[in-house]
Amino acid sequence: MSDLKVLRLVKKSEGDPPEKAFMAEAVAKPEPQPAAAPAIKPVAAPPPIKPVPARGDQQQRQQQRQQQRQQQSQRHRQQQKPQPKLTLSPEQMLKIFRTMYLSRRLDDKEIQMKGQNRIFFQISGAGHEAILVAAGLCLKPGYDWFYPYYRDRALCLQLGMTPLEQLLQSVGAAADPASHGRQMPSHWGHKKLNIVSQSSPTGTQLLQAVGCAEAGYRVKLIKELKKLVEGFHNDEVVYVSLGDGTTSEGEFWEALNTACNLKLPVLFLLEDNGYAISVPVEVQTAGGDVSRLIEGFPNLYRQRCDGTDPIESLAVMRRAVDHCRKGRGPSFVHAKVIRPYSHSLSDDEKLYRCEAERVSDAEHDPVKRFGALLVHEGIASQEELQQLKDEVDREINEAADIALASPQPAPETALEFIYSPTVDPTSPEFDTEDRVELSGKPGTMVDLINRCLHTEMKRDPRIVAFGEDIADCSREELLDQVKGKGGVFKVTANLQREFGSARVFNSPLAEANIVGRAIGMATRGLKPVVEIQFFDYIWPAYHQIRNELALLRWRSGNEFSAPLVMRVPIGGYLKGGAIYHSQSGVSIFTQIPGLRVVYPSNALDANGLLRTSIRCDDPVLFLEHKHLYRQAYNKSPYPSDDFMIPFGKAKTVREGTDLSIITYGALVQRSVVAAKQAEQQGISVEVIDLRTMNPYDWNAIAESVKKTSRVIVAHEDTMSWGYGAEIAARISNELFECLDAPVRRVAALDCFVAYAPQLEDAILPQAADVAKAIVELRQY
C-alpha cells in the first residue's frame, strides 16, 4: 500500500505510510475554482424510520415524505462526480474514536453527577461527535477562532480542552477556564485555544463570528494595524456552529449576508439533529431543508454530509476549511446528525418523539457505528477497543474526583470584572477638564463630536466607524462628484474622506448586525465606534447589547472583553419627531451591569465625554440628544486633542441654596430657564447636570441635597419607572434626615410622544413644568 497518500491532520506524521490503512469515499467535490460557485453536496439517504401504526392522512404524509427524501437523494447521486480517495492510518482512526468516546462518556458522567445532585445542569453533545471531531482535526487551536454552541463538546476536546477543564465547569469551580464558575456547563470558552466565551441565547454568536473574521479582513486593508494588533494570520478561519433551530433566527441570515458580501473566511457548521427542543425541522424551516433556502448566497461554498460518519465528515470539513483558508469566501457545511439524548436533562424527549424514531437514532449512533467499523476493518480488536474505553473511563473518573474537590468562587468575587479591572474611566487620569484650553470659533455639538472622532481616529488606527449612512459615499468612485452623507445628522461627515473606506463604512440596515459585528471586532483588539441611527430603532440590537456586549467580560471571568462605543441619537422636542423618533428609554440600559451610559447636554461635554468613551476599556452607550445637536446656547470653542471628562463626574451648572434640581440631557437647559424664573420670586435653585448615567455622581447629588434640603429630579423619560426613580429612591433612603420636603419628580407623561406639536409639548416636560415644581416644593 506504498502508493497511498496518508491524510495529514493537525500534525504531519513522519516516515512511510502505515502498512494498514482504511480508505473511504470522500463526499466532497473536487476543490472549487474561484470563478465557479460550488454546488451543495448531498447527504447519503439515511435508512427510513420504521413507521408507527398510523391511519389515513398521517400514514399518507409519512409515505410522501419518505418518497420525497428518496427522490431528492437520487437526484443528488446522479449529479455527483467521482470523488477522490481519503486515507487514514489506523492510529488516526483510533484517535478519532477515542475523542468521540471521550466526549460521550463525559456526557454520561455529567448525567450521573446531575442525578447525584453534584452538578446543577446538563446538556449533551451526544450524536454530534463525529462531525465535531472532524472539524477540530481540520482547524488550528490558538490560530483559528471558534464560536461554538452548546453541543460542541467533542470539538473542544479535539482542540485541546481537557476532560478536567470541562468538568470544572460542570461543578462551577473557580478554576473553570471557560467562566470561572459563572456559566452553566457546555458554555464553552478557552482563551488559549481561541474559543470565545459562549452564551445561552441561540444565534447571537453568528454575527460575532462574522465580526471576528472581519477584524482580520480590516487588518489586511489598514497598514497601520499590522503593528498595533497581534494574533492575526493571513489564512486564519473563524468557525461558528449552530443547530437547525437557530436557522430561524434573523441573525443567522444577517451573518450569512455579511460573510458572503465581504467574502469572509467564516466556516458555518449546521449541526442538524432534526429538532429544536421539541419542534421538528419541518416546522422550523420552509421545506424542511435550510440548505435549499441559502442557495442564492454568492461566494458561499455549500456542502452536506452525514455528520454521524467521521470519515465522510472529515473529507467535507477539509474542503470547507481549505475554501476559507484560501480566501475564497465563507463555507457552509450542513451535517445531518442525531440527538440520542433529550435536549437537556430538563427535557423529556419521550413526550414528543415516538419509539420508532428514537430507535432509528440509536441505530445511527456515531460512537457505536465507528467502533464497530474499526473492529470490522481490523483496525482494532474488541479487546483492544475495550482497553481504550476502560482507559477513557478511568481518566474521566479521576478528572471528576478532582473537579468535585475543587473550590467554587469566593462570594466576594461576585462583583469582579463587571468593568475593566485595569482602566478606570472615573479616575483622575481621564480628567483634564480643569486645564482645558479652548480656541477657534464656537461649534455646535455636532461640530465638536465630529472633531473628536477625527482626532481620535488619527490618534488610534484601531478605531473603525460604521453604521447606517455614516459614510460619505459607499461608492468611492463618486466621492469627487458628491458632497457626501456622513450620517443623517452629519455627525460623521468627511471621516471616510480622511480615513478611507476600510475604516469608515456603511452597514446593512440591521441594528443587531452592527452591534454583533462590533463585538467580534472588539474581541480581536479593534476599537469599533458604531452608530445606531435612532434610539427608537436600537431594539433589534438589544439582544446583542444586553446578553452579549455587556456580559462578555463578566461571564468569561475577564478572559474576553469587547470595549466599543455605540453612538445613538436620542430624545424628543423635535416638532415632528412623533412616536418613532422621540423615544427616551434610558433606564432600560442603565440597569445593565457592564455597560457605561453617557448623556452630554452641551457641545464641550460631548467632546470630552466621547474621548473618554473611546479611550476607556468598557462598552459605552453614548447618547446624543437630537434636539441639542445644533442649539446655539450649548455651543463651545474647540478644546485640545487630549480634553477628557471622567465618568461619574457631575457638573454644577448653576449654584443655589434653596432647592436642587438633578437632571441631564435636554432638561438641563429647561431647568436653568426655570431656575432663573424662580430667582425672580426669591428662590435660589441649584442645577446639577449628571452627564453620565452609569456611573452617576452620587457624591455631587448628596452634597447638593445636604446644602438645599429640597430636591427635584427632572428627566425626559416617563414618570413611571423612569431613570429619576432610582435617584429619588436613593435620596429618600440615604438622605432622609437631610430633607425638608418630599423628593419631587418632573418627567414625561406615561405615554409615547405624539406628532402634533401642541400634543408633544403636553407630553414632554417643559421649563414651565419645572418652574411650577420649584414653587410648589419651596412652599411645602
Q: What is the DSSP string of 680-696?
A: TTT--EEEEE--EEES-
CA–CA separation, 129 and 369 (whole Å): 12
CA–CA separation, 44 and 336 (whole Å): 10
Residues 485/471, Cβ–Cβ less than 8 Å:
yes
Specify the residue for cell string 418630599.
Answer: 742
pLDDT of 11: 31
- Is pLDDT of 44 > 70? no
- Is pLDDT of 15 > 60? no
692: which 3 cell numbers?
453620565
Task: Report the SS3 class of residue 631.
Answer: coil
pLDDT confidence tier of residue 25, bands split at 50, 70 and 90 = very low
552: which 3 cell numbers?
462578555
State the average pLDDT for the chain: 90
At 82-111, the pLDDT tens digits run 455 668 999 999 999 999 999 999 999 999
408: which 3 cell numbers?
467554587
CA–CA separation, 66 and 438 (whole Å): 77
Residues 423/133, Cβ–Cβ less than 8 Å:
no
% the chain with pLDDT above 70: 89
Q: What are phi and psi of 161, to 5 degrees?
A: -70, 140
The residues annotated as belonging to the active site are: 581
* 383: number of Cβ within 10 Å: 9
Residues 6+ apart with CB under 8 A from 121: 114, 184, 185, 344, 345, 346
Span of 135-144, 275-284, 450-459, 621-630 with lowest mean pLDDT: 275-284
Pick from 423, 539, 531: which is nearest to 487 by CA?
531
235: which 3 cell numbers?
489564512
Residues 330/210, Cβ–Cβ less than 8 Å:
no
581 or 9: whose pLDDT is higher? Answer: 581
Q: What are phi and psi of 316, to 5 degrees?
A: -65, -45
At 716-745, the pLDDT tens digits run 999 999 999 999 999 999 999 999 999 999
Residues 6+ apart with CB under 8 A from 699: none
Residues 282/139, Cβ–Cβ less than 8 Å:
no
Residues 6+ apart with CB under 8 A from 539: 511
Span of 164-168, 357-361, 660-664 with lowest mean pLDDT: 357-361
Residues 6+ apart with CB under 8 A from 184: 120, 121, 200
Task: Report the SS3 class of residue 464.
Answer: strand
Give the torsion sign (CA, 758, 762, 765, 766): positive
Q: Cα angle at 336 between 331 and 342, to 5 degrees? A: 125
Task: Report the SS3 class of residue 302.
Answer: strand
Span of 81-90, 438-447, 602-611 with lowest mean pLDDT: 81-90
